[in-house]
Amino acid sequence: DMNECDSNPCKHGRYVNKVGRYKCTCRPGWTGRNCEKDMDGCVQKPCQHGTCVNKDTGYSCICFPGWTGQNCQQDLNECMRSPCQYGRCVNQDGGYKCTCDPGWTG
């Protein structure tokens, strides 16, 4: 029995030599008999409020303004920055609203 693993058949994974054949165990983000196919981590649409970017090791999210977290699932509380100079800040999903004090607009 020859050792098929000597030719490094598994592109992105570990290989196990078996009698007359081999088996690849792929690293996360890879699939195929020889771990040669990049799995599209964005297929499941994991980024709730952002843009998904496929990577060799999975995916990453570029969050829209007002959102944070691995999957852009957490609303940022913009009111923590005190953006309303003469009024009250009301946090909203992905943004905020200022309720102006009497005599002020904007």
Check residue 78 and give its pLDDT: 95
| 4-38 CATH | 2.10.25.10
Please state, in angstroms and rounded to a whole number, the distance separating the CA atoms of residues 47 and 56: 17
**Greater confidence, 69 or 23?**
69
Within this chain, domains 4-38 and 76-106 share the same CATH topology? yes
Per-domain residue ranges for the chain? 4-38, 40-75, 76-106
Q: Are the C-beta atoms of residues 25 and 12 closer than 8 Å to each other?
A: no
Q: Which tokens go with 68?
A: 């944070």
| 3-state secondary structure at position 80 | helix
The superfamily CATH assigns to domain 76-106 is: Laminin (2.10.25.10)
Environment class of residue 102 by beta-carbon count within 10 Å: exposed (0-12), middle (13-18) or buried (19+)?
exposed
35-80 pLDDT, tens digit per residue, is 988 888 898 899 999 999 998 778 999 999 999 999 999 999 999 9
CB < 8 Å & 24+ apart, contacts of 1-7:
none
Fold of 40-75: Laminin (2.10.25)
Average pLDDT over residues 80-87: 95
Q: What is the mean pLDDT of residues 9-13?
A: 84
Distance CA(55)–CA(59), nearest Å, equals 5
- The rounded mean pLDDT for the chain is 88
